[in-house]
Amino acid sequence: MPVVDLRRYREMLDTALAGHYAYPAINVLEIATLNAAIEGFATAKSDGIVQISIAAGRHTSGALDDAVLGAITLAEHAHRLAERYDINVAVHSDHCPTSQVDTFLRPLIEETARRRAAGAPNLFNSHMYDGSDLPMAENLDRAVELLQLCAENGILLEVEAGVVGGEEDGLNREDVPSAKLYTTPEDMALAHERLSAVATGGFMLAATFGNVHGVYKPGSVALKPEILRDGQTAVVERFGEEARLRLVFHGGSGSSIEDIHASIDYGVVKMNIHTDTQYAFTRGVADHMLKHYDEVLKVDGEVGVKQSYLASTWLDRGRASMAARVVDACEALRSAGKTLGRRSPNAG
């Protein structure tokens, strides 16, 4: 199977929750960064998640500027690539705000439905609906509707409760009041109550605890992992131990390893990584360009060195640099060496 099915995906997340580790969810923008993400997972012997944003879909489709077409293209490549590795890879679509549900999220679900009807595997394993721009009750109303649609097609849904500050992929929340950066225990309990009512649905919750998208020096992000602890306590006290939430950590750049590990211990099973891996890719490219500037440029009437300015050469440098950063992420999140392997979910 090219990528995981629903049963294996649930097993991945439940095993991580019980084992106190999390999967790196690497945002990919085109083929080279997608290759780097899966290469990094394989090197670390970690299962992992590749995720595709609206911006990535638009970029991959080139001049067509078609987010759905680009996202499908990347997802299809992930299927083919993952088939060659002995790890589990899930494919996820990242932040879809309410305003773009009908133009991005629903068409991707429809594509998976079309494939399932033809006997093919799911294109995407999970999607993220970001309704944090709405009041909590309305956010959950929309989320429940989407979760029902996802459940019909063997897809998990990620829902955000609270607001991740900063800016990413055109979503600018740099001026959000600080109080909204922290999800309350009441909101976490309400999210569980509403979403678990969808009998066959599976979901993850992106609860916020001070996390901010963007680039920050270590220690400059004021995380409060105890927010997650208190929320989980409220959920378990009200609904029982089996209700413990599978949480998602957004905006981790600049977070200390202590805060990352605390968040994992409180239920984070998926941590989104975008800024750091994109920088690693660019760093590899820049290193090549600066060391070989007189080969990649035709300086003083010379002809340059074709092997140095070939796009495949410098893209490979970026891919290798990013793959190494993905390995670091697996080690930090404790998933390194813990792949479930490609055995059948029914195997003993």
Residue 132 contacts residue 139 (beta carbons within 8 Å): yes
Grouping H, G, I as helix, E, B as strand and the rest as coil, residue 189 is: helix
Q: What are phi and psi of 292, to 5 degrees?
A: -125, 30
CA distance 159 to 226: 20
Q: What is the DSSP string of 237-283?
A: HHH-GGG---EEE---TT--HHHHHHHHHTTEEEEEE-HHHHHHHHH
Give the separation between CA 69 and CA 57, rounded to whole angstroms: 7
Length, in residues, of the chain? 348
Active-site entry in 47, 94, 130, 276: 94
Spatial contact of 245 and 231, defined as CB atoms under 8 Å apart? yes
23, 163, 167, 327 alpha-carbon torsion, rounded to 10°? -10
Indicate if 94 belongs to the active site. Answer: yes
Please name the residue ranges forming H helices in the chain. 6-19, 31-44, 54-60, 67-82, 106-117, 136-152, 185-196, 226-239, 257-265, 275-291, 293-296, 306-309, 311-332
**CA–CA distance, 6 with 4 (Å, rounded to integer):** 7
Identify any residues that bridge with 212 across adjacent strands, giving them in sequence order.
165
Query: Token pair of 25, please?
Result: 């969810």
Distances in Å between the alpha carbon of 63 and those of 59, 70, 104, 170, 200? 8, 11, 17, 18, 40
Tokens 């979910």, located at residue? 345
Just list the catalytic residues. Answer: 94
